[in-house]
Amino acid sequence: MSDYRVRISVRNARLLRAIEQAGHRPGAQFAEEVGISYSGALLPYFNLTRSPLPPDGLLRECAWALCDFLNASPSDLWSDAQLQPLARNHSTIELDADNVQALVGGAPVDPLRLATQAQAGRIIEDAIDSLTEREAYVIRERFFSETTLADLSERIGLTRERVRQIEKKALRKLRHVSRIPRELAGIADVIGGAVDA
């Protein structure tokens, strides 16, 4: 049984890419600048529902206008396969979750992993809240806002070395097993890797 209904639309990537590389956005304003109709000329070329070649084999006037405006040859904007118009440029298919993930790429979403990450985030926040106010501020600034030692020391009026000491002490407290459940012990190592010295 399928979980998703996916609509696939076919577009002329060559033409879209040429317009974008020329610094324009494909649309009615671009069609107006070229001097052609958006819905009557440009849109059918985007959707590949009209061939740039009429039956006589010569390039249509609006296709020439696009080539001139974009300073491109017809073969830059249309491949040989794109010279034949499509009867329909879209289709709808039904897919299951695994096929959708394969289609769009990326790792599949694991609900258990998401829940574990959310739980770990809450545990880390609770652990940080149990620190002193200064320690919690240093940890949040260093690891969640990625503030440098120099900026942080200037902001709170302490030396870099003192800020480093506060950070080290706070991390030691966060790593202590009494603050984090056994199944998540060591989670503070995830936030324990600041880059600058």
Question: How do the domains of the chain map onto residue ranges?
Answer: 4-103, 111-191
pLDDT tens profile 45-58: 888 888 888 888 88
pLDDT tens profile 177-192: 676 555 555 554 554 4
Evaluate whether 153 touches 162 at the Cβ level (below 8 Å).
yes
pLDDT the model gives residue 180: 59
d(C-alpha 10, C-alpha 79), whole Å: 14
pLDDT tens profile 30-42: 889 999 888 888 8
How does 125-145 read in b/e, with b if 16+ C-beta sit within 10 Å?
A: eebbeebeeebbbbbbbbbee
Q: Is the pLDDT of residue 96 over 60?
A: yes
Q: Is the pLDDT of residue 18 over 70?
A: yes
Report the CATH architecture of 4-103. Orthogonal Bundle (1.10)
Q: How confident is the model at residue 193 (pLDDT cuts 50, 70, 90)?
A: very low
Residue 179: strand, helix, or coil: coil
Q: How confident is the model at residue 196 (pLDDT cuts 50, 70, 90)?
A: very low
Q: Is the pLDDT of residue 197 over 60?
A: no
Which tokens belong to 29? 């304003």
Residue 182 is given by DSSP the state: G
Average pLDDT over residues 111-139: 83
Query: pTM score > 0.85 for this model?
Result: no
pLDDT the model gives residue 195: 42
**Top-level CATH class of 111-191?**
mainly alpha
